[in-house]
Structures are given as C-alpha cells and as structure tokens.
Amino acid sequence: MGAMEATAERVDLTVTGMTCAACANRVANKLNDVEGVEEASVNFATGKATVFHRADLDQLSRAIESIGYGVAPPETTSEDVDADREADLFTRLRIAAVLAVPAMLIGMIPTLRFSGWEWVVAALATPVIFWSGWTFHRAALLNLRHGSTTMDTLVSMGSTAAWAWSAVVLVADIDGGHIYFETGAVIVTLILLGKWFETKAKRRTGDAIRALADLGVSTVVLENGAEIDIEQLRRGDRFLVRPGEKVATDGVVVEGRSAVDESMISGEPIPVDKVPGDEVVGATINANGSLTVEATRVGADTVLSQIIRMVDEAQGGTADVQRLADRVASVFVPVAITVALITLVAWLLLGSDANDAFTAAVAVLIIACPCALGLATPLAIMVGTGRGAQMGVLIKGGEVLEDTRRVDAIVLDKTGTVTEGRMELAKVIVPSGDPDGLLQLAAALEARSEHPIAAAIVAGAPVPLRRADVFLNHPGKGVSGTVGGQPVRVGRRSLFDSVPDDVESAAAAAEAAGSTAVFAGRRGIAEGVLVVGDTIRSTSAEAIEAFHEQGLEVTLLTGDNRRTAEHVGALVSADRVISEVMPEDKVLEIQRLQAGGRRVAMVGDGINDAPALAQADLGIAVGTGTDVAMEASDLTIVSGDLRAVADAISLSRRTLATIKGNLFWAFAYNTAAIPLAALGILNPMIAAGAMGLSSVFVVSNSLRLRSFSGYR
C-alpha cells in the first residue's frame, strides 16, 4: 500500500450523462474496480470524478463509457457540461409544455372533448413521453443493461406505463377503460421543469468559486514599462501596480506606499496600508498610491490559486452523512418498484377497478423518485464552502463540517493569533529625568540592531533619529555605545552596573502587566524603562465572546511567561490560561483535554503550532501564518481577525444544519407521500409536481447559505 500511495496520481474527470446520485455511485464503483485505481469518488453536484490511480487515462475513460456515461474533453469544465445540460433540458421542456398543456386540458375538461379526442391526445402526448422524456428512458435502459436501477428508472417506468396502458385501452377499445396519455405527458413535463430549475440553480452554487477564479488579471506591466501576459511573469520579476489596478500576483513591495483592498481574499472591508517590505496578494486592489512589487509566487503557487484548489477539493469531498444518503438511494429504487407492484396487486385482489389500481401504482413510482436525496448534501457543501471562500474561510471538506459541530472546547495560541504578533513600544518610564531624551539616545543605538524589540523602540521614537558614534552588541544582554559623546546602554538588568529602586519598581510593574521591560541609561546606570509589548488584536475579545456564545470553553496556550499570559487572558476573558509551554507540550495539552472527554479545536499560525493543529479534533490555521500550519489544519482563515474563526465555526454548523434539513425533507417527503400514493389519495400528476418541487426546495434551501454574514 505504501508503494501505491507513493506513486498514485490524482486526476479529475468531468463525467457527462449523470442524472442522479445513483449514477454517481455506479461510476464510482466502476472506477474502483479498474486495476491500478487506488481510490475513486464521484460528486454528482460538481459532475467530477476524482481518481487516485496508476492506470492509463484511456482505461479510466473506457470504464466510464462502458456503463453508458461519457468523459468530457480535458478543456471542458463541469460548468460547461451543466450549461449544455440546461440548454438541452430547456429545449425538451419547451416542446413538452407546448404539447402537454393542450393534451391535459382536453383530457381533463369534458367540455373541450370532441369526436376522436383520445387519438389527438395520444398524438400530442407521445412525443412528450418518448422524445422530451428520452433522457430518462435512456438512463433507465443503460442501467437495466447492467442490472441496476436509478431514480430515472422510476420516471421512465411511470410515464411509459401510463402510455402503454392508455394505448391498450384505446386500440383494444376496452369498455370503461381510462386513458392516461395526458398523465404521462404532464409527468414528464413537470419532472423536466424540476430538473431544469435544479440544473439552473445548481450552476449558481458554483458562482462563488467562479467569481474567485475571475479575480485574476490577464496582463501585467513590468518595471521597465513592458506589458506581458500574466503566464509569462516569473518569480523575481518586478512589476508596477498603478492606482485602481489589481495586484498581478503575490509579491513584496519594493517601492511606493499605498492602501490595498484585500477584501476579496480575506473578507476584511478595510484597506491595508502597504510600504516597502510588506507582502501583497495577487488579485487584491491597489487603492491610491503606485507600487513596485517583486513577484514571489506565480501561477498555481499563488494564494488565490491555493484557495481555489482547496475549495474545489472541499466541494468534491464526501461527508459521512452523504454516505448514508447514498446507501439509502442505492436501495430505494428497487424498494419503490416493489411497493408499486404490491400496490397494483393489492388493489386488484381487493376487487378494485383496474384503472384505479394502475393509477395508484404509477403514482407510487413517480412519488418515490428520491431526486432530492442525491442533491441534499453536495449542494449545501458547494454553497457553504463557496460562501466561506468569499469570506476568507477555507473549509477542507464535508468531514470538517461534522467535526465542527462536535467541538466543545477551543485552544488559542497567543502570539500572532490573539495578539498582533509584532512588538510595539508602549511607553517610556523615567522616574527622574527626560523620557523623550532617553528614548532618542536608546533609539539611536537600537537603529543599528536587527532584534524585533530594537525595531519596536526605533519605530516608537521621534524622527529624525540621532546617529550612534560607537555601537557594540552584547548577545543576550543588549547593546551599548556612544551617542553625541555620551555612553549609552540599552538592554537587560545585567547590562547595568546600577539599577535604582524606583526604576526596578517600574520594570516589575510593566512585567506584571504582561509587557517586556527594557532598561536604558548612561554611564552604566539605568535611568528608565522602555515598556515593549505585543499588542492584543482589537477584535480578540469580541471573538472570544462569540466562542462563548457558541458554547465553547476557551483556553489560551502560549510559551510566554506566566504573568504576561495571565494578563492577556484576563483582558480577552479566556476561561483558562496555560503558559510557558514548548511546542511538544502544546500537543500534550490538547491530548489532556481530549482525554477528559473534550472535542477540541486548536487555532494557531506558526510552524510550532502544526503538531497541535494535527492533534486537535479540528485544526484551524490563521492564514497570516505559515504554510505548514495551513497544511496541518482542517480550516484555514485567510484573515488575521480572530472573529473569522467564529465565522468559520458558525458557517460550518449552518452548512451541516442545512444538509440535515435537506435530508429530513427529502426523507420525510418520500416517507409520507408513498403511503398516500399507494392508497390512491395522490394523483400521478400531483405526485410528479411534488417530486419536482422537493428537488427545487433542496436547491433553494442550500442557496440560502449565500446570505450568511457571520460576526464580521
């Protein structure tokens, strides 16, 4: 198995001719029987077969074609297939409606009848049943050839049986016999109408991912002014982004300043200021200034391409609840046919009229068709994951939705998740002296250092900075030198010969508040404290409040010292704070929670969070972090806003609730309607209309997820 996994290739095939979930199951089973195929799954909603294989591609195509389905050319997308199917259905529907409506009126309204009206109704209904309804008959015959049945079998049997019985009554001139030509025609028309609505609406479920794909640019202007196609852009090339233009690809700003609208990637509405050294993401919009950007990722490696790929893979996944629906659908059709036969025989044995017995049996066949069952899960997943992508929430698949519902505890990494992940100078405390003057001296020295704390001190100092005459670095302690002829030291306590009590008290108070205390002074004496801290994100407290609303216990997990961690935990209202932990200890903490019966979600952004993300029942990576963390997670948040995690959990739960609602109504509809049809209460035409409406309901219910707004 290990060798197979190492050499198996993935291929996505667009399958044509599938009309229901049972078709998708047949294609998947056939592909899994092909030698060299490790795993194959088929998603009816997307029309795609995903195959991990070591077989020949032609062999896969032949396997699909051998059971009556087709494989579209590689350049053909599932959207193209759906568009062609929609056009074909609409053509068949128009002709069916034109012929079925007069047939129904004549057949059902006695005042419209005339001599020989039965033959006219037969002439009108026959093209509807056999030409407009050919898509159902073809699928039924193909499956019958291989000893199986699908939902199309029920439609084909019901409409054909109505036509055949009517033809016998008409030709044989059976006294008292009823004809059902118009019933068969209306059945086909109504089901075509439902299929057309279903296909039309199903295409809308992919709007979100298509909108993402359309965000990219086709051309880019290089630094030298030359305009080239985006495919020609290479890593390391420098290109221009003028005001109002889209950033061509992921890169780093090398020149210029501007605000960039990243809402289509992150879901955040406020433009982000960009200066030299900042990263920009392809397809985001430059607001006002001009930027020169050096490309760091191109083609399939860009953030946008990765998002599209992740969403596409998520939409092709199968949730456990869908597997249950697929198993039910596979046995439902033969059961429905059996119930229809029992209905026919029972009515006849009870002495009922043959017409009534036939009508009840046909109604059972039509009402039993569980088309909605096959759409209930994949459509909701498509819409939910697509809406998530628009909001900067990437859900890896249907299984994640179920894991999200079960979690009752969430663990948050502090640095870079709850906090901004960058140091800032909070204040300067000089018990007896000039704070600004001391800060200028300290910043002059720290400007020569590359330490993050040094960068925070320099950023917080007034400009222009003074220049250090002499600079010495003391690893682990700080820096020293001379500024304007004055000997200056900046760093830890150990760097100084003397630390006055009032300066020591100020440092202790800063550390107790969760900040880092940096001593500064002249001639070996600490004169004051530079208080440096990692700023808590403005939305973290609001996000944790949302987690509490969702019934989650919140744990803050960090490698920082206890006083800092507890201070941050108190500010954001975390339920528990665990500090001074190493990466491997984070995994142990997750395991302890799980051992206590908790279903744990973990939120992190760094490489050191990856093991804990993988251990958690639900791993959530903040996209401002590393690729390793994103790979180990189940959910990825493109934005750094922790509220997006609450959105992700809420959207996942809403999507799963939609799936369950769809399945309930699909099951409830069939469960309640089949007995009514068997008892003769439901007319076959009403049954056909109700069956079509059930599919439209499932599609419409799934599309409601497009309006999900979340906490942001």
Block residue for tokens 């419409």 = 700
Question: What pLDDT does 252 receive?
Answer: 92
Output phi, psi for 238, to 5 deg: -105, 135
Block residue for tokens 């939910």 = 384
Which among 164, 539, 503 has a CA at the least distance from the CA of 492? 503
Question: Per residue in 549-579, pLDDT tens?
Answer: 989 999 888 766 577 778 888 888 889 888 7
CB under 8 Å to 74, separation ≥6 — which residues? none
| DSSP per residue, 395-462 | E--HHHHHHHHH--EEEEEIIIIIEEEEEEEEEEE-TTS-HHHHHHHHHHHHTT---HHHHHHHHHS-
pLDDT above 50 for 628: no
Block residue for tokens 């869908």 = 322
Which among 676, 56, 70, 679 has a CA at the least distance from the CA of 343? 679
By CB atoms closer than 10 A (0-12, 13-18, 19+), residue 138 is middle
Report which secondary-structure segment, H or E, holds 199: helix 181-204
pLDDT confidence bin for 5, thresholds 50/70/90:
very low
pLDDT above 90 for 92: yes
Query: Is the Cβ–Cβ distance between 492 and 478 less than 8 Å?
Result: yes
Point out which residues pair with 412 in neighbouring strands: 556, 603
Question: What pLDDT does 573 receive?
Answer: 87
Question: Per residue in 138-164, pLDDT tens?
Answer: 888 887 877 777 767 777 887 888 888
Question: What pLDDT does 625 receive?
Answer: 45
| Mean pLDDT over each residue of the chain, to the nearest integer | 80
Which among 60, 308, 95 has a CA at the least distance from the CA of 193? 95
- Distance, CA of 430 to CA of 488 (rounded, Å): 15
pLDDT above 70 for 524: yes
pLDDT above 80 for 421: no
Question: What pLDDT does 281 receive?
Answer: 83
- Output the six-digit token pair for 302: 């860009």
- Distance, CA of 647 to CA of 430 (rounded, Å): 44
Q: Give the angle 420-277-214 at the CA atoms, nearest 5°.
A: 85
Hey, what amino acid is at 59? Q
Which among 405, 318, 420, 404 has a CA at the least distance from the CA of 602? 404
Residues with a known catalytic role: 413
For the question of whether the overall pTM of this predicted structure is more than 0.75, the answer is: no
Query: Is the Cβ–Cβ distance between 28 and 41 less than 8 Å?
Result: yes
Which among 324, 321, 310, 283 has a CA at the least distance from the CA of 385? 310
- Distance, CA of 121 to CA of 328 (rounded, Å): 38
The mean pLDDT value for 526-548 works out to 88
Rounded (10°) CA dihedral 422, 427, 429, 433: 120
Rounded (10°) CA dihedral 291, 294, 296, 297: 60
Crossing angle between the packed helical segments 398-406 and 320-349, to the nearest 10 degrees: 100
Question: What pLDDT does 522 receive?
Answer: 92
pLDDT confidence bin for 4, thresholds 50/70/90:
very low
Within 13 A of 409's CA, how many CA atoms are on the CB side?
Answer: 20
Question: Per residue in 463-499, pLDDT tens?
Answer: 788 888 999 888 767 899 999 889 999 988 889 999 9
Report which secondary-structure segment, H or E, holds 316: helix 303-316
- Distance, CA of 308 to CA of 323 (rounded, Å): 25
Question: What pLDDT does 440 receive?
Answer: 92
- Output the six-digit token pair for 354: 């043959």
Q: How far is CA 121 from the centre of its chain?
A: 50
Output phi, psi for 590, to 5 deg: -60, -45
Which among 439, 511, 440, 446 has a CA at the least distance from the CA of 478? 446
pLDDT above 70 for 355: yes
Q: Give the Cβ contact number of residue 115 at 10 Å.
A: 6
Query: Is the Cβ–Cβ distance between 693 and 195 less than 8 Å?
Result: no
Query: Helix H segments across 66-180?
Result: 78-108, 117-127, 134-145, 151-172
Query: Helix H segments across 450-496?
Result: 452-460
Percent of the chain beyond pLDDT 70?
Answer: 82
- Secondary structure letter of residue 262 according to DSSP: -
- Distance, CA of 64 to CA of 50 (rounded, Å): 13
- Output the six-digit token pair for 410: 């969430």
SS3 571: helix
pLDDT above 70 for 269: no
Within 13 A of 118's CA, how many CA atoms are on the CB side?
Answer: 14
- Distance, CA of 436 to CA of 682 (rounded, Å): 87
Question: What pLDDT does 132 receive?
Answer: 94
- Distance, CA of 90 to CA of 680 (rounded, Å): 32
Block residue for tokens 């060299």 = 36
Question: Per residue in 152-200, pLDDT tens?
Answer: 777 788 788 888 888 888 887 766 667 778 878 887 887 787 678 767 7
Rounded (10°) CA dihedral 89, 90, 95, 99: 90
